Chain A
Amino acid sequence: MSSAISELQQEASHAHIHPPPQGFIAKYVISFDHKVIAVQYFITAGLFFVLAGLLAELLRAQLTQPHNTLLSAQTFDEAYSIHGTAMVWLVIIPVLTGGFGNLAMPLMIGARDVAFPWLNMFSFWLFPPAGILVFLSFLYGAPRAGWTEYPPVSMETTGTALWCAGVFLIGVSSTITGINFMVTIIKMRAPGMTWTRMPLFVWATLVTAFLSAIATANLSAALAGLFNQKVFGVPFYDPAHGGSAVLWQHVFWFYSHPAVYIMILPAFGIISEILPTFVRRPIFGYKAIAYSSVAIGLVSFMVWAHHMFTSGLAQWVQLPFMILTMAVAIPTGIKIFSWVATLWRGKIRLSTPLLFTLGFLACFTFGGVTGVMLASVPADIHEHATYFVVAHLHYVLFGGSVFGIFAGLYYWWPKMTGRLLDERLGKWHFWTMFLAFNATFLPMHWLGLLGMQRRVSYYDSQFHSSDLLSFVAGTNLFVSISAFVLGASMLIFAYNALRSAKAGKVAGPNPWGARTLEWMTSSPPPYYNFAEIPIVLSGPYDYGKPLPYANISQDLATEPVA
């Protein structure tokens, strides 16, 4: 054992400590430090979250009545298009990769930084201009075909060009971050951290980085084609000149289905860290969770056409896509079983991060089930383009990704800032958000099954029986009120976050008594993360056994139980 350690010791001594940067700009603006870049991502994405959220409230305000005149049909279309675009590309993807990936991954693998700190900085600085371009499109007539921007409708607006440019930039940023993270995880793990000793969040980030680096190039191609058609009249997607509108759908979904896993895998990773910490027992099925992420990543390239069951594909094409899509539920189900089994007979501490994790499990599982319903071609032909799809995608993206994001924020906030968020406010936040979320999106399932179309601003002419219409109108009013409460619940978090700067309890290095490496250094960590590169002797989740690290300074290497 000791000779093995001394060999690892030699490997660890390679990494030098660079002097910290001086001056405001170098420290906080053009920073190369992964922890600062993570905060930059959180703040920027937080602003876009507020804007995109306000757009959503505007949409719900319009839908409080069947024939409301608050917004014109055109403004309504613009609002949902930019709402979806911003939530997907300016909030969820940057927060989960640039935000949490940067904050936690290098620390968790015991590295001083990512492989290419300069590229990391560059990648962040593509993000604000990307968002600004997307929102600027409002000035020129924002695109009106949803976040998916199918031509020919997307060709009708001038803002489409700006939209393409903005999303293209964020795609480039995502590609660069993906490559950077892959190299970091493959090459820079602390000595002794074999693949199966990697924390599960790092596994999730690895697969996400792979998807970002590989799949996003298709988005770039699709957007370049759309931009060229809009600006130069190059007719890729224009059937009048030999192009094909369905082609856009193929290329777009060949990126965007893998992208929904970019939006969920890191959240899987976050809750896989939180569960064992707050249940005080090893995660159940470590390998099953790790390898099922890989399986999901690979299968995600083979299911894109399930978004196109009503686009006139031949039946023999639809069938394999239907079966493969349903098969995605298998690795996903394996994960859910493992998480529930981790809870089983654990010493559960119901702190805020765990509450959000449980919220995630409930909502995400529900969204997975409706996903399998949608995957069935005959059912989808009825449900496609209705509020049933809206309900599904919000159960997975809000109930899944956003709950996962808040779980991660409550969990890593003390590491990031050195102070804890208030637990009582956190619980208020959770319960209002959880109840309002379900009140908002659960009824959308039956609205969809009753035939309410998505992406329309009036629904009075869709329902011919007045009984039905008054039921639909009442339900919509209820949904809208819940959506306002849901929006308001975010204020509790904002207050909690601001308050923690002054009144938050000082966290100390390891407030939750976790065992992964990011907790084996001070909070917030020093510029160089670890005084000495740690050495890893076994896996991260063996609660009840001594800590598996060498080279960690002794006063930090404790496992206090809060």
Chain B
Amino acid sequence: MATHALQVSDAEYQEVRSHRLLGFLFFLISDSILFCSFIFSYLYDRSASPMWPPAGVERPGLYLAAVNSIVLFGSGVTMHLAMEAWRHANRTRFTQYIIATIVLGIGFLSGQAYEYTHLHDTWWGSVFGASFFTLTGMHGFHVFIGVCFLITVLLQARNGVYDQNRYFGLTAATLYWHFVDVIWVALFFLFYVY
């Protein structure tokens, strides 16, 4: 589909690009509402509970999550740098930064997997655990999709699918990655700080 984009006129490309960009933004809005809905559920259950976290449930450790957050925000920075490198036509830098972003993303997921396996068994049966696993799990799934997205973008860039002025896939991946970062800020605050 993207190779096909190279055969069309500039005007037509710009039009298609603007459709895709708008569609992608609507998708992100819809996706963030999915998160908001679960966050509302969490806060609702939480406000109805006499103590929080419920009796017998320990909060997850702040330390690991903080390190993991730094990893994820770091990946946001490398993503930004990758985009900048592309804009300045520096393909080597671009490749390096994208790979760095992918590695950091995988690092975040590994941290999350470690955290999951070291949590208390009592978690599953409680509504605190339910919200925690659902929201962070959904977020982790988004990171996973983001990693796949970035690998695709990297391969497509190497195969010459994009050119200097036509790189919508890369733009979308960047938007998506930053979106996933922002969601994490909210989740981190809700589960580890608040």
CA gap between A346 and B141 in the complex, in Å: 59
In the assembled complex, the CB of B56 is this many whole angstroms from the nearest CB of chain A, namely: 11
Tell yes or no: A480 within 8 A of B by CB.
no
* B 30-61 to A, binary, CB cutoff 8 A, 1 in contact else 0: 11011001101100110011000010000000
Give CA–CA (A178, B23) in the complex, Å.
Answer: 10
Chain A's closest residue to B127 (CB) is A242
Residues of B within 8 A of A228 (CB): 130, 134
Are A242 and B19 also in contact (CB < 8 A) when A218-B33, A251-B37 are?
no
Q: How far is A16 from B13 in the complex, measured between Cα atoms in Å?
A: 12
What B residues does A235 contact at CB under 8 A?
125-127, 130
Answer whether residue B73 sits at the interface, using C-beta atoms and an 8 A cutoff.
no
Q: State whether A218 and B37 are in contact (beta carbons under 8 Å apart), knowing that A175-B30, A242-B127 are contacts in the complex.
A: yes
Interface contact B126-A241, CB-CB below 8 Å: yes
Cβ distance B177 to chain A, nearest Cβ, rounded Å: 20
How large, as a class, is the contact surface on chain B?
A: 20 to 34
Chain A positions within 8 Å of B30 at CB level:
175, 179, 213-214, 216-217
Q: Which residues of B contact A216 (CB under 8 A)?
A: 30
- Residues on B with C-beta less than 8 A from A254 are 37
| Known A-B contacts A14-B15, A183-B19, A244-B48; A214 and B37 likewise in contact (beta carbons under 8 Å) | no
A243 at the interface (CB under 8 A from B): yes
Nearest-CB distance from A155 to chain B (Å)?
A: 14
> In the bound complex, what is the Cα–Cα distance between A31 and B48 (angstroms)?
50
How far, in whole Å, are A14 and B13 apart by their CA atoms in the complex?
11
* Known A-B contacts A14-B11, A233-B124, A242-B54; A187 and B22 likewise in contact (beta carbons under 8 Å): yes
Contact A217 B34 (CB under 8 A): yes
CB B131 to nearest CB in A, in angstroms, measures: 8
Q: Does B162 sit at the interface, judged by CB under 8 A?
A: no
**Chain B, range 125-146, C-beta contacts under 8 Å to A:** 125-131, 133-134
Q: Judge whether B45 and A224 touch: CB under 8 Å.
A: no
Chain A CB within 8 A of B29 CB: yes
**Contact assessment for A244 and B125 in the assembled complex, using a CB-CB cutoff below 8 Å:** no
Q: Which chain A residue has the least Cβ–Cβ distance from B29?
A: A214
B1-39: CB near A (< 8 Å → 1, else 0) gives 000000000011001001100110011011101100110
Q: Does A150 contact B (CB under 8 A)?
A: no
Interface residue? A247 (CB, 8 A): yes
* Cα(A183)–Cα(B133), bound, Å: 34
How far does the alpha carbon of A14 sit from the alpha carbon of B18 in the complex, in Å? 14
Q: How far is the CB of B142 from chain A (nearest CB, A)?
A: 14
**Complex interface bits, B105-138 against A, C-beta within 8 A gives 1, otherwise 0:** 0000000000000000000111111110110000
Determine whether A525 belongs to the interface, using a CB cutoff of 8 Å to chain B.
no
Evaluate contact between A180 and B130: CB separation under 8 angstroms. Answer: no
A225 is contacted by which of B15, B124, B125, B134 (Cβ under 8 Å)? Answer: B134
Q: How far is the CA of A262 from the CA of B128 in the complex (A)?
A: 34
In the docked arrangement, what's the CA distance between A222 and B54, Å? 22
Report which of B19, B33, B125 forms a contact with A217, defined as CB distance below 8 A. Answer: B33
Find out whether the CB atom of B19 lies under 8 angstroms from the CB atom of A116.
yes
Query: Is A221 among interface residues, defined by CB-CB distance under 8 A?
Result: yes
B33: A residues at CB distance < 8 A: 214, 217-218
Give A175 to B130 CA distance when docked, in angstroms: 26
**Given contacts A213-B26, A242-B128, is CB(A222)–CB(B37) below 8 Å?**
yes
Beyond the given A183-B23, A242-B126, could you list 17 further A-B residue pairs with CB under 8 A, ordered by the A residue number?
A182-B26, A183-B19, A183-B22, A214-B30, A217-B31, A217-B33, A217-B34, A218-B37, A221-B38, A233-B124, A234-B134, A236-B130, A241-B127, A242-B45, A242-B128, A243-B45, A250-B44
Ranked nearest first, the 5 interchain pairs of A and B with the lowest CB-CB distance are A221-B37, A242-B127, A217-B33, A234-B130, A217-B34
Pick 26 A–B contacts, CB within 8 A, sort by A.
Answer: A14-B11, A14-B12, A115-B23, A175-B30, A179-B23, A179-B27, A179-B30, A187-B22, A213-B26, A216-B30, A218-B33, A221-B37, A222-B37, A225-B134, A228-B130, A234-B129, A234-B133, A234-B134, A235-B126, A236-B45, A236-B131, A241-B126, A242-B126, A243-B45, A243-B130, A250-B44
Interface residues of B (CB under 8 A from A): 11-12, 15, 18-19, 22-23, 26-27, 29-31, 33-34, 37-38, 40-41, 44-45, 48-49, 54, 124-131, 133-134
